[in-house]
């Protein structure tokens, strides 16, 4: 039996806003990391544990989103989404009262688990509720929303952190009104399977291998600009945090523009949009590597951001393709895992390349070349959307 209701702007708004929670853990605490380290100075392993406070959620999204996708297909979308939003508020705000850094790190691991469930549910439901051009438009808007929210969260985290390093954690209560809205306005698209013991249909792994593998590299490329832009500005003599924040905000507009444009380009298929995205990102990174002044850094950052904004919805559309309802949660989960694992290893790989090649500029140049080469290789290949097994 299927639910015949038609999703509209309210359902889309709830899912898009809930998707923003996945970036809350990634950027909110960046401005207060030094204060967290100072607060626990003298504790064993403080220098190693403090960065994990920031990176643990992304790592555990990458490690567990595929499992969340299986739960989505087996038990249903709505129950998992509402439950994850409620738990997110509890574990996200736990550092407000936790007395030790290891306990805070443990709470951040739980944040990553809930974010994996939230992101997988939101993306799967967007694919369930909307079809054709509307689906592609909302995939693009999902990147627009998360990009803009990342800029806002970074700024708010810095402002709240001025008062106390624990203050930014209050923002995790934002999931509670979203849980209420999801409970009221989101519905399970079908009641045919959830709660049954029928075996799930197999995923078309041979078709999924290409988009998931490319997404792993795409996650790395996407995160380079976010992580390395402040270091690039430092290399050319920019030390003002205000300037760094302004440049980051401008480049994020490029990301939003690329994601917004995806809806108008999606009809050309992944064979066009995916190579085009990698080409813009690669061109921007090449320019960023050799830029000697702030105006050129801004220009190349916008070009890179534009490619990044086009990249994520293009990869998602390619991966989900025409997967059946009973496959869509797992397909989304596997794709999300690949994306966040790529983002997690990004700073590690850039650091390794920096050391091996003798500087950040060389590392950025090599990644730009690899992105451009990927664009050329994919342009010659035949990229067809994944279909149900």
Q: Are 98 and 43 contacting, i.e. CB atoms less than 8 angstroms apart?
A: no
Q: Give the pLDDT confidence score for residue 91 in this predicted structure.
A: 95
User: Which regions of the chain carry the CATH code 1.20.1250.20?
Assistant: 9-129+157-185, 205-380
CA 315 → CA 174, 214, 231, 236, 273, distances in Å? 29, 8, 28, 33, 9
113: left (phi over 0), alpha (psi -120 to 50) or beta: alpha
Res 241: pLDDT: 65
CB 124 within 8 A of CB 190: no
pLDDT for position 76:
84
Q: How far apart are CA 126 and CA 77, in angstroms?
A: 11
What mean pLDDT is predicted for residues 341-359? 88
Q: Which of 148-152, 284-288, 335-339 has the lowest mean pLDDT?
A: 148-152
What integer pLDDT is reported at residue 371 of this predicted model? 96
Which residue shows structure tokens 């003599």? Answer: 237
Q: How far is CA 63 from CA 67, 233, 281, 340, in A?
A: 8, 32, 26, 8
Q: What phi-psi label fits residue 307: left (phi over 0), alpha (psi between -120 and 50 degrees) or beta?
A: alpha
Task: Report which of residues 142 and 53 the model is more confident about.
Answer: 142
Which of 312 and 192 is assigned the larger pLDDT?
A: 312
- Say if CB 244 and CB 230 are below 8 A apart: yes
Residue 190 DSSP label: B
Predicted confidence (pLDDT) per residue in 236-270, tens digit? 888 776 777 788 888 888 998 999 899 888 888 89
Cα torsion through 148, 151, 155, 161, rounded to 10: 110
- Residue 99: how many CA atoms within 13 Å on its side-chain side? 0
Pick the CATH number of 205-380 from 1.10.10.10, 1.20.1250.20, 3.40.50.300, 3.40.50.2300: 1.20.1250.20
Nearest to 219 by CA among 336, 65, 334: 336
The candidate with the shortest Cα–Cα distance to 154, out of 221, 252, 62, is 252
Burial 299-315 (b: 16+ CB within 10 A, else e): bbbbbbbbbbbbbbbbb
d(CA 300, CA 289): 9
pLDDT for 32 equals 78
Model confidence at 178, pLDDT cuts 50, 70, 90, reads very high
Whether 357 contacts 289, CB under 8 Å: no
Band of residue 185 on the pLDDT scale cut at 50, 70, 90 = very high
**Which residue would you say has higher pLDDT here, 322 or 92?**
92
59 C-beta neighbours (distance < 10 Å), count: 18
Confidence of residue 1 (pLDDT cuts 50, 70, 90): very low
Q: Per-residue pLDDT for 280 more than 50?
A: yes
pTM over 0.75: yes
Output phi, psi for 2, to 5 deg: -110, 150
- The overall average pLDDT reported for the chain is 87
For residue 197, the model assigns a pLDDT of: 59
pLDDT tens, residue by residue, 190-212: 754 555 556 777 788 888 889 99
- Give the whole-angstrom CA distance, residue 121 versus residue 72: 7
Nearest CA to 119 out of 143, 95, 136 is that of 143
CA distances from 266 to 76, 140, 161 (A): 28, 10, 41
What is the dihedral angle through the alpha carbons of 345, 153, 304, 52, rounded to the nearest 10 degrees?
Answer: -10
Confidence check: pLDDT of 182 > 90: yes
Q: Quick one: fold of 9-129+157-185?
A: Growth Hormone; Chain: A; (1.20.1250)
Each residue of 76-117: pLDDT tens digit?
889 999 999 999 999 999 999 999 999 999 999 999 999 999
Burial class, 388, CB count within 10 angstroms (exposed 0-12 / middle 13-18 / buried 19+): middle
Check if the beta carbon of residue 114 is closer than 8 Å to that of residue 288: no
Give residue for tokens 């064993």: 44
Specify the DSSP class assigned to residue 44: T
Give the residue from 294, 276, 295, 296 showing the smallest Cα distance to 286.
Answer: 296
- The mean pLDDT value for 21-46 works out to 80
Backbone torsions φ then ψ of 353, nearest 5 degrees: -65, -40
What percent of the chain is predicted at pLDDT more than 90?
45
Longest dimension (CA), the chain: 63
pLDDT over 60 (residue 318): yes
- Please give the average per-residue pLDDT across 27-35, as a whole number: 76
Query: 312 or 389: whose pLDDT is higher?
Result: 312
Tell me how crowded residue 34 is: count the other CB atoms within 10 A of its CB.
Answer: 12
- Paired with 190 in beta bridges are 2
Angstrom distances, CA of residue 216 to CA of 213, 223, 254, 262: 5, 11, 22, 20
Percent of residues, the chain, with pLDDT higher than 70: 95
Span 146-176, pLDDT tens digits: 888 887 887 788 788 878 889 889 999 999 9
């Amino acid at each position: 039996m299927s639910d015949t209701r038609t999703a509209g702007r309210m359902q889309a708004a709830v899912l898009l806003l809930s998707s923003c929670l996945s970036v809350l853990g990634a950027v909110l605490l960046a401005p207060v990391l030094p204060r967290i380290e100072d607060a626990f100075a003298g504790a064993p392993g403080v220098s190693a544990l403090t960065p994990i406070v920031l990176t643990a959620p992304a790592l555990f999204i990458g490690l567990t989103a595929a499992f969340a996708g299986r739960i989505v297909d087996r038990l249903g979308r709505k129950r998992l989404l509402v439950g994850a939003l409620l738990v997110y508020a509890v574990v996200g705000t736990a550092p407000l009262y936790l007395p030790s850094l290891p306990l805070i790190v443990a709470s951040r691991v739980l944040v990553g688990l809930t974010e994996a469930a939230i992101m997988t549910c939101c993306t799967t439901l967007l694919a369930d509720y909307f079809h054709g051009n509307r689906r592609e438009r909302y995939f693009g808007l999902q990147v627009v929303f998360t990009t803009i929210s990342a800029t806002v969260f970074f700024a708010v985290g810095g402002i709240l952190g001025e008062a106390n390093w624990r203050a930014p954690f209050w923002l995790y209560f934002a999931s509670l009104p979203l849980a209420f809205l999801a409970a009221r306005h989101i519905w399970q698209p079908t009641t045919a399977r959830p709660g049954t013991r029928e075996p799930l249909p197999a995923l078309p792994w041979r078709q999924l291998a290409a988009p998931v593998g490319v997404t792993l590299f795409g996650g790395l490329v996407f995160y380079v600009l976010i992580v390395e832009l402040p270091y690039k500005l430092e290399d050319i003599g920019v030390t003002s945090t205000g300037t760094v924040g302004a440049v980051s905000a401008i480049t994020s507009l490029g990301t939003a523009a690329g994601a917004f444009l995806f809806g108008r380009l999606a009809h050309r298929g992944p064979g066009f949009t995916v190579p085009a995205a990698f080409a813009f990102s690669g061109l921007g990174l090449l320019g960023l590597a050799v830029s000697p002044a702030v105006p050129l850094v801004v220009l190349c950052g916008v070009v890179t951001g534009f490619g990044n904004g086009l990249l994520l919805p293009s990869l998602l559309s390619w991966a989900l393709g025409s997967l059946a309802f009973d496959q869509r949660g797992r397909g989304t989960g596997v794709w999300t895992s690949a994306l966040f694992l790529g983002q997690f290893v990004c700073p590690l790989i850039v650091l390794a390349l920096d050391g091996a090649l003798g500087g950040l500029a060389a590392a950025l140049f090599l990644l730009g070349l690899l992105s451009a080469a990927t664009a050329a290789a994919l342009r010659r290949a035949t990229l067809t959307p994944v279909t149900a097994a």
